[in-house]
């Protein structure tokens, strides 16, 4: 399966991506993880990405598109993948369409989550993991950037018949079950809203 998982920062995409990856035996490809690895290694890309992420922004399309294209070309992604954190803009949707060509996405999972709950989750994660990119101000900026730039992508994927909206709140296993049921339903009947 070729999948994309979307939702506001802190909605549980990373956690659910691991479950989806294991269940369908496909690599979970997280642009955030790729950028954080570069930050940890102190690469030029990592230093620039850290500056942008610390301000609550997103790394530019050119850099992001190139990193994703290289990753999708790797052997383990040839039979399927799950994208997490990409695309974030309509320009990135067009770039992804070009990368995939005739092998388009099979489904787009959109996790729904209350903003106050997302802020609480991210503040807790920042304390547990010591993440400098999760200050409250940066969290609020990312939530607004998501609403302004990424939310419109949901309409694009809805029009293509690929969107599955899933309630992202609750126990991790319950959310995973909702996702797996929704993907089965997509394969059988087409997209629907799942609660």
List 2, 36, 123, 131, catalytic entry: 131
Backbone angles phi, psi at 164, to 5 degrees: -125, 115
pLDDT tens-place string over residues 25-61: 999 999 878 877 878 888 887 788 788 878 877 778 8
Report the C-alpha gap between 98 and 163 in whole angstroms: 19
Enumerate domains of the chain plus CATH numbers: 2-194 (3.40.50.300)
Report the C-alpha gap between 62 and 104 in whole angstroms: 21
Name the CA radius of gyration of the chain, rounded.
16
In the annotation, is 50 catalytic? no
List 13, 50, 71, 178, catalytic entry: 13
Q: Contacts by 49-58 with C-beta closer than 8 Å and gap 24+?
A: 50/132, 50/133, 53/133, 53/138, 54/132, 54/133, 54/138, 55/138, 55/141, 56/133, 56/137, 56/138, 56/139, 56/140, 56/141, 56/142, 56/145, 57/141, 57/145, 58/88, 58/142, 58/145, 58/149
Q: What's the DSSP call for residue 75?
A: G
In the annotation, is 142 catalytic? yes
List 50, 71, 121, 142, catalytic entry: 142
In the annotation, is 18 catalytic? no
In the annotation, is 140 catalytic? no
Cβ-based neighbours of 114, under 8 Å, separated by 6 or more: 169
In the annotation, is 2 catalytic? no
Backbone angles phi, psi at 169, to 5 degrees: -95, 150
Tens place of pLDDT per residue across the chain (195 aa)? 899 999 888 888 889 999 999 999 999 999 878 877 878 888 887 788 788 878 877 778 887 888 888 889 889 999 999 999 899 888 999 999 999 988 889 999 999 888 888 888 888 888 888 877 678 888 888 888 888 877 889 999 999 999 999 999 889 999 999 999 999 887 776 554 444
Q: Which residues pair with 2 in a beta bridge?
A: 81
Single pTM value for the model: 0.80
């Amino acid at each position: 399966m070729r999948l994309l998982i979307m939702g506001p920062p802190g909605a549980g995409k990373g956690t659910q991506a691991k479950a989806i990856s294991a269940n369908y035996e496909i690599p979970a490809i997280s642009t955030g993880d790729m950028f954080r690895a570069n930050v940890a290694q102190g690469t030029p890309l990592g230093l620039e990405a850290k500056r942008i992420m610390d301000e609550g922004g997103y790394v530019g399309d050119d850099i992001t598109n190139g990193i994703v294209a290289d990753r999708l070309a790797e052997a383990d992604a040839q039979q399927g993948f799950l994208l997490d954190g990409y695309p974030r803009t309509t320009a990135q949707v067009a770039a992804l369409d070009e990368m995939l060509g005739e092998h388009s996405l099979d489904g787009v999972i959109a996790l729904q989550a209350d903003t106050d709950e997302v802020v609480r989750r991210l503040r807790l994660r920042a304390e547990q993991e010591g993440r400098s990119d999760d200050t409250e101000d940066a969290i609020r900026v990312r939530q607004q950037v998501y609403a302004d730039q990424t939310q419109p992508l949901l309409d694009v994927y809805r029009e293509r018949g690929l969107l599955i909206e899933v309630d992202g709140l609750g126990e991790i296993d319950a959310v995973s079950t909702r996702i797996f049921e929704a993907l089965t339903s997509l394969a059988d009947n087409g997209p629907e809203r799942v609660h």
